[in-house]
Amino acid sequence: MVLIAPLAHPLPYSHAFAERLGFGERIRTRLVARIERRVGLPMSHFDVPGVARQVATPKLLVVHDRDDRETSWSDGRAIARAWPDARLLTTTRLGHRRILHDPEVVAQVVGFLRDATGTNASEVVAS
C-alpha cells in the first residue's frame, strides 16, 4: 500500500477547513456530525496511526513532503511510525501537489509496489 501526503487524524483538519471557508465552531461541529452520520462511524475511527495498531496491515510506503502546506509532514511520519511494516519517503520542495509528478517519487512508488507484489514495473503502471 502507498499513501501520498496522508493525514493521520481527520478531526484537526476540520478546524482548518472551517477556517478557510469562514465557518464558525457551530457549523464545523454540525459538519463533523453530518459526516459521521453519513459514514456511520465517528471520526475517531479514521485515526490512521490508531487503526494501524489494531488491525493487520500490509507493507506501506508513506510519501510526504516536508514543505506540504495542505497536510503536515508530521502526519506522514506518525503513520509510518505506527504502521508495523512501513517506510517513510520524505521529499522537499515538492509540496502537496507536485509530489505526484516527480519522476523520483514515481520511480520509488513503482519500485515499492513491484517489490511488494512480485510483479514487474510495466504490470504495476498498467494496473
CATH code, domain with 32? 3.40.50.1820
Residue 61 has pLDDT above 80, yes or no: yes
Q: State which residues form the domain around 19.
A: 2-126
Assign 126 a pLDDT band (cuts: 50, 70, 90). very low
In total, how many domains does the chain have? 1
Averaged pLDDT score across all residues of the chain = 90
Separation of alpha carbons 51 and 84, rounded Å? 11
In residues, how long is the chain? Answer: 127
Assign 55 a pLDDT band (cuts: 50, 70, 90). confident
Separation of alpha carbons 90 and 73, rounded Å? 8
Region 17-27: mean pLDDT is: 94
Q: What are phi and psi of 85, to 5 degrees?
A: -125, 70
Region 74-97: mean pLDDT is: 95
Residue 124 has pLDDT above 90, yes or no: no
**CB 56: neighbour CB atoms within 10 A?**
6
